[in-house]
Chains A and B, each alone.
Chain A
């Protein structure tokens, strides 16, 4: 493979790992606060639809993004009410959210736009444009580093850059702020946080709000950046891969970035190759597709390292009995 081919596959890696990364970071906030979130997929799907629909009608990508974030936030709050206030089963709430999003987006899409569940293709301005970073064109001629800067780092959608900036932001928020400390504490030992006079419920709702907003970004990326308009079941299980990445990264922001890049790379690889040769044995493309899930299962089982989630995860907090 020459440099251009390698760059093109790495470029695809970045594009494919962006929604994973945004969703993974989104899940990090609620899971760190002690809320299992298997509803990332549903929130992304709802956001993708809202963003696609509003961008198509208004012709503005920014309004689309806003709509995506608002809808994802609303979905997240619904899940939050069930899981936090009503002390319902968080896993079942997640399943319900995923199913609700799958049903509602197709149903409303068909009813409103009559295009088999798709939203109308986006025109000028309805879709985010890629951003060319300063000096990208001038530096393209520089050997090796030039193409890397011009093709790989420059020329992505704004959401891609936001996703990678959010890694640093999330790290800072979780590990360098008082809010982050409390958020992590609430996921490990909510009783202690409560005893310190801090509201467990409020903290968990704050986490759910951040999760909703980030899922909104992730969802919008599908329909108004990567794609032009919403299509049926557009997120195609990416929310579950993000969840796998979250576990694989042991609920930490920087490892999350690398895991999402790895899973994105596997995705890019399987799109490019129909099958690969590895040590003379033919590796079917389905094996590459299944690899993120297999890796997560293996890691979770503690065969290579051990992923242990926040201790209070999945348990609704009851003040007293």
Chain B
């Protein structure tokens, strides 16, 4: 067996994801070609739609805000070796916390309503992830299965809550009462006319704070260190005196709280009320974002921007090229997850070999290994 050398850091964090991303785009391009459209034209439309003008860029940032939250949620859990697939459900139920607080405080000021709603949404979203965490830690049920189930339980719960509890008697549509202006998160367009009518709002500031916060938490605190030890080797962490079950529960709660921030962006920033299914799969995009961003805040910010651009550009695409619907974006997203997440083994070994042959000090080893191989 050849001694496998790890890739240089830059290749691991940048080159490999870039190759996998390129492959995902290549396959998507082939799909576009298959239906008889020009993939280069499609890319042009996406880029212009996402970055070419103020409204478009604003929408890109608005989508990216959601994806930062769900991406961070997946990443924080991943550092502790947990796969939180329930970001969708956590972001969804967090809407309850957000809307209740926003409706209660919408006669005051957003400077009061917003932080209060952030805490409420984080608490509810965190709670929705804490239960699977608790079940994993104390009862040994697999967190992946439990969080999947909790997504569906959340969907049923929210239909009930919106229809039976939050819906005012006067409205027909399944939605809560409308939040008054003071309870809404200010839009960036109120400060910069550049953003036109796009819904990007101050939630993006929370997203940036969350990115910084997660960076500090994971790499510059004792807790983050314990989290990473648990993720790397649960047995070692137990012997190091870390309570694994406590870590699992706290990590899942943080993860759910981060996912819950989607509710601030959507409920208080865009819809101004609680509607059904407002998460629209953002939790699953978070998986792609975290994989693509290598669970690092900088990577996640870039990946969230990329997916934000794809979502906004995809909307544009379906207007300009009627042959391509925006589901094309879901396909690209799936391919990114497939290539960067599940099929990472496709390029890593050959890339490792290439680096072994390229770098002088490692070349001797590589030759030695290959001779040893041919002799055996």
Contact = CB atoms under 8 A, between A and B. Distances in A.
Interface of A: 36, 38, 79, 81-83, 85-93, 95-100, 102-104, 106-108, 110-112, 117, 237, 240, 243-244, 247, 284, 286-287, 289-290, 293-294, 296-297, 300-303, 309, 320-321
B39 to A, nearest CB: 14
Interface of B: 1, 31, 35, 83, 85, 135, 139-142, 144-146, 148-150, 152-153, 156-157, 159-160, 164, 284, 287, 291, 323-325, 327-335, 337-338, 341-346
A85 to B, nearest CB: 8
Contact of B337 (A92, A111, A284): A92
B291 A92 contact: yes
Contact of B328 (A107, A297, A321): A107
Contacts of B83: 89, 91-92
Sorted nearest first, the 10 A-B pairs with minimum C-beta distance are A103-B330, A86-B345, A99-B334, A93-B342, A100-B334, A103-B331, A290-B156, A92-B341, A96-B338, A88-B342
A92 B341 CA distance: 6
A96 B342 contact: yes
Contacts of A321: 1
B152 A100 contact: no
A38 B341 CA distance: 15
A86 B342 CA distance: 8
Contact of A297 (B146, B334, B346): B146
Given A91-B85, A99-B284, A297 B341 contact: no
A300 B323 contact: no
A31 B144 CA distance: 15
Contacts of B35: 107-108, 111-112
A320 B31 CA distance: 38
Interface of A is mostly: helix
B105 to A, nearest CB: 28
Contacts, number: 152
Contact of A111 (B144, B157, B291, B324): B324
A107 B334 contact: no
Contacts of B157: 286, 290
Given A92-B341, A100-B338, A302-B139, A290 B146 contact: no
A129 to B, nearest CB: 33
A244 B139 contact: no
A300 B142 contact: yes
B156 A297 contact: no
Contacts of A286: 156-157, 159-160
A87 B345 contact: yes
Given A96-B337, A297-B141, A106 B325 contact: yes
Nearest to B336: A96
B139 A296 contact: no
B142 A92 contact: no
Which interface residue of B139, B329, B331 has the most chain A CB atoms within 10 A? Answer: B331
Nearest to A36: B144
Contacts of B144: 36, 38, 91
Contacts of B153: 290, 293-294, 297
B161 to A, nearest CB: 9
A286 B142 CA distance: 25
